[in-house]
Amino acid sequence: MTFGARSLTARVLLLATLWSAVALVAIAVVISTLYRESADRGFQDLLRAQLYNVVNSISIGENSTLAGNPQLGDLRFSQPKSGWYWIIEPLGTFSTGPLVSSSLGLSNLKVPSVAEVPFDSNYERFYTLDDGNGNRIQVAETEVVLDQEGRAARFRVSGNLAVVENDIAAFDNSLYLALAVFGFGSLIVNALAILYGLKPLDHARAALEHIRGGEAERLQGEFPREIQPLANEINALIDSNRRIVERARMQVGNLAHSLKTPIAVLLNEARVLDRQHGELVRHQAEAMQGQVQSYLNRARIAAQRDSVLARTEAEPALERLVRVMRRLNADKEFELVIDPPHLSLAMEQQDVEETVGNLLENAARFAERRVVVTANAAPADVKGADPARKSWVELTVEDDGPGLDADQIREAMKRGRRLDESKPGTGLGLSIVREITSEYHGLIDLSRGASGGLKARLILPAVTKDIA
């Protein structure tokens, strides 16, 4: 599975991960908020219950005194500076002062006025404050009439908010840990599900690689219902492309066959004419023959240039050409070097043979003793080559002849130009090589080689193994 900025798998995994992370964070915030609200309500209910326990334990005794000893069953109300206090403040004509829990001692709470925090419809009010001992407390307060004479008292019960905060913090820690484990597990399950769900696309990519590599002619294999129509369309496109190539080849062959006879007649007639006119007709017929062949080659190459079925193994094709040249030029040495050995050109075999064959003929014609042919994998970013293609082959043909200077190289690349009239040939070889190479979006350049002779360098398209 290939990952990258343009990978469908990477995009789906990224979106699923982001969505899961956002969803888990939102769930954590919502649950934590709901638990805090519940904890606050529960704390208020606890304070309200304790408040009315205090109210029920107080009465008016003899001599207009407050009587009673609240026993709330919570030791924190007896622990000094705990933040858990109860206070009974008499209102009206009482002969005693306020009653307070032992936990408050001689301290006093600075409670807000009723104007600041009014009583609600149940004649209760809740507020928070600092008790002076470093505790943040919440206070529940109410006023109760104690007898028929209307004498009343104000009751307050407080609780330390640290209890609530600690409880909420413990809950949040457990919540975050549980969600983290759940989220991590969900991401793994999602990733596996996505990879499994997109596996057929990987199979389709592998099938395309087999077609690109020449190992198959159609997409083969069983695909899911959603992908099968795409596979069918690709197979139909390949079939259509094959028919177009075959039709173009047939038309090229028909045209070549129809022109071959008239041109041959002109060349034969040129032989019986007088020298001046016959030479003129012969030269024009040969030029016409070269032009026809060149444009026929262009039409044929254009028909199959971008076909995924165009494939030629470099090693057997080059060995066959070198073997023929050795047989025709027994007095010269031909060396072939291919590295790596299994290079494949994304070209028709006929075009490879015509391109390299022309270069070999030129090299054999001018070489003193030796011609070297090399083929290597070229880097993807070859300067001047088609940037859309990622695989190239660098092929060189070098001889040990006299070579050419810069002006002669420019002249040699022109159609029909021959720099040495003493050698046989039409002068079309290099221009044909250039035209075929250009049609495949490759490159050709000529330079002086290490041995002093001419070095022809070709950049030709290689079979692409990776379809990303």
128 within some domain? yes
Residues 300 and 403 both lie in one domain: no
Cα of 224 vs its chain's centroid, Å: 23
Return the structure tokens found at 429. Answer: 């070889």
328 pLDDT more than 50: yes
**Residue with token string 């080849």:** 249
8 A C-beta contact, residue 84 and residue 159: yes
Residues 248 and 322 both lie in one domain: no
**Residue with token string 């959603």:** 226
Over residues 133-143, mean pLDDT:
91
Question: Across the beta sheet with 333-339, what order do the strands follow?
Answer: 333-339, 370-378, 392-399, 454-461, 443-448
Residue of higher predicted confidence among 22 and 389? 22
271 pLDDT more than 50: yes
Q: What is the CATH number of the domain that holds 327?
A: 3.30.565.10
pLDDT the model gives residue 468? 38
Residues 434 and 411 both lie in one domain: yes
pLDDT the model gives residue 203? 80
The burial of 378, by beta-carbon neighbours within 10 Å (0-12 exposed, 13-18 middle, 19 or more buried), is given as buried
**Residue with token string 């009010």:** 125
Residues 89 and 157 both lie in one domain: yes
198 within some domain? no
The burial of 187, by beta-carbon neighbours within 10 Å (0-12 exposed, 13-18 middle, 19 or more buried), is given as middle
Distance CA 305, CA 106 (A): 100
Residues 134 and 73 both lie in one domain: yes
pLDDT digits (tens, 9 = 90+) for 3-14: 555 677 788 888
pLDDT the model gives residue 425? 46
253 pLDDT more than 70: no
The one-character DSSP state at 294 is: H
Domain tally, the chain: 3
Q: What is the total residue count of the chain?
A: 468
Which of 243-247, 343-347, 426-430 is least confident? 426-430
Residues 399 and 420 both lie in one domain: yes
Q: Which long-range contacts (CB under 8 A, 24 or more apart) does 305-310 make?
A: 305/439, 305/440, 307/241, 307/242, 307/245, 308/208, 308/211, 308/212, 308/238, 308/241, 309/211, 309/214, 309/217, 309/238, 309/241, 309/242, 309/245, 310/346, 310/347, 310/348
Residues 255 and 130 both lie in one domain: no
What is the band of 370 on the pLDDT scale with cuts at 50, 70, 90? very high
62 within some domain? yes
Residues 349 and 452 both lie in one domain: yes
pLDDT the model gives residue 151? 82
401 within some domain? yes
Residues 141 and 33 both lie in one domain: yes
Could you say which of 304, 337, 353 is where a domain stops? 304
Element (DSSP H or E) covering residue 155: strand 152-160
Could you say which of 239, 269, 304 is where a domain stops? 304
Q: How do 66-67 and 99-100 pair as beta strands? A: unpaired
Return the structure tokens found at 418. Answer: 């021959």
pLDDT digits (tens, 9 = 90+) for 278-318: 777 777 777 777 667 666 666 656 555 555 556 788 899 99
42 pLDDT more than 70: yes
Cα 174–Cα 180–Cα 183 angle in degrees, nearest 5: 135
245 within some domain? yes
**Contacts for 354 with CB less than 8 Å, ≥ 6 apart:** 297, 432, 433, 436
Residues 71 and 142 both lie in one domain: yes
pLDDT digits (tens, 9 = 90+) for 423-447: 444 445 677 788 888 888 888 888 8
69 pLDDT more than 80: no
368 within some domain? yes
pLDDT the model gives residue 49? 92
b/e code 193-209 from CB counts within 10 Å (16+ = b): ebeeebebbebbeebbe
Could you say which of 140, 166, 192 is where a domain stops? 166
Residues 245 and 332 both lie in one domain: no
50 within some domain? yes
8 A C-beta contact, residue 60 and residue 151: yes
439 within some domain? yes
Output the average pLDDT for the chain: 81
Domain that includes residue 326, residue range: 312-461
Distance CA 227, CA 201 (A): 8
8 A C-beta contact, residue 67 and residue 146: no
Q: Which of 256, 249, 300, 430 is nearest to 355 (CA)?
A: 430
Residues 237 and 344 both lie in one domain: no
